[in-house]
Amino acid sequence: MHRTMPKGRLEAFSDGVIAIIITIMVLELKVPHETTIEALKPILPVFLSYVLSFIYVGIYWNNHHHMMHVARGVTGGVLWANLHLLFWLSLVPFVTGWMGENHFEAVPSALYGVVLLMAGVAYVILQYAILHCPGGNPVLERALGRDVKGKLAMTLYAAAIGLSFVSTWISGALYVFVAMMWLVPDRRIVKAMAEAPAAAPEEH
């Protein structure tokens, strides 16, 4: 008989890694030597890319929070699927810095999309691993439905990667648009929870 383990440490470890990722990005904001307002101008694109990435990482934490809230336990497979997601998120500071310091040029903007796309793929794999834990997860299953939102986001990332070479304004606009789309937290899970009061998490 397979058994699941409590999810507490997976949550704590993910919280730690995501907290560090979201915070070390700010180290890319190098303190300027002058003390005028103009001295802040060259930092502006770095700052804007920081804001965008902060929101993206925030979205991942938020959705992760909602999804793990309805998970009933974890298996070895879930642990690795989660580490895989954290791996791609850990590359966000690098691509954010590269894009920001180069004023949103083509290749860095495309690579930013690649990392977002891979993080999206990793999130889907994690969802899949949780859905296939022993006992299944009907609440999450109902909440996801056909996961239109997830599929749309990944299609738009893929489009943005290609369109980076046409105009980084378009790809940038797409990244902002997908972020806005996700800013509304996964109400599907909240809704599915409300409809299925009996499917409360097994433990802590």
Q: Helix crossing, 168-183 with 148-163: angle to 10°?
A: 160
Segment holding 95, helix H or strand E: helix 92-101
Nearer to its own copies, 52 or 154 (CB): 52
Nearer to its own copies, 31 or 148 (CB): 31
Nearer to its own copies, 18 or 160 (CB): 18
CB of 102 to its own copies, least distance (A): 5
Nearer to its own copies, 11 or 153 (CB): 11
- Give the C-alpha separation, 58 to 54, whole Å: 6
Cα distances from 60 to residues 20, 36, 77, 86, 122, in angstroms, run 14, 36, 20, 10, 11
CB of 131 to its own copies, least distance (A): 19
Binding site for its own copies (CB under 8 A): 1-3, 5-6, 8-13, 15-24, 26-29, 31-33, 35-37, 39-40, 51, 54, 58, 61-62, 65-66, 68-69, 76, 79-80, 83, 86-87, 90-91, 93-94, 97-98, 101-102, 105-108, 111, 183-187, 190, 193-194, 204
CB of 149 to its own copies, least distance (A): 15
Cα distances from 59 to residues 7, 55, 105, 113, in angstroms, run 20, 6, 25, 16
